[in-house]
Structure 1
């Protein structure tokens, strides 16, 4: 029997909470990502960037809703933050 690691909505919320991001109970992956990118500071952006890199380069399978939330919310917000910081 093969075991596959999956990153689902609950995993994403847990990882964001572990980084210190406030998440509303029962948030969807998209809502969690929206919350994570509000009021980004240098430290928060760095932690979020590291998490995204780990998720995208890891061997776990990211469920489509989580991947879409990352692509739609986190990546553009991090890119915009980086551009505004020079």
Structure 2
């Protein structure tokens, strides 16, 4: 299992467009991937409702976990989406 902790840089947090991009990126991989805030239960990173309910805000840290072939590459892609200050096309 691969794990990565990152800081949410988007000013709106992991909501709206950043959340949609995050979920779309996670859904492209055929492996299990979760996202969690410190001290909270992990949620399915491929579910837009679960990601929005996580309520990850600007400046907070989240932990991404993936298990399977290509886990490290997927986490790198997801980290890039979350680390962007503003999503492309915003």
Compute the TM-score of the two structures, normalised by the length of structure 1: 0.31
More strand by share: 2
Pair member with larger Rg: 1
More helix by share: 1
Compute the TM-score of the two structures, normalised by the length of structure 2: 0.30
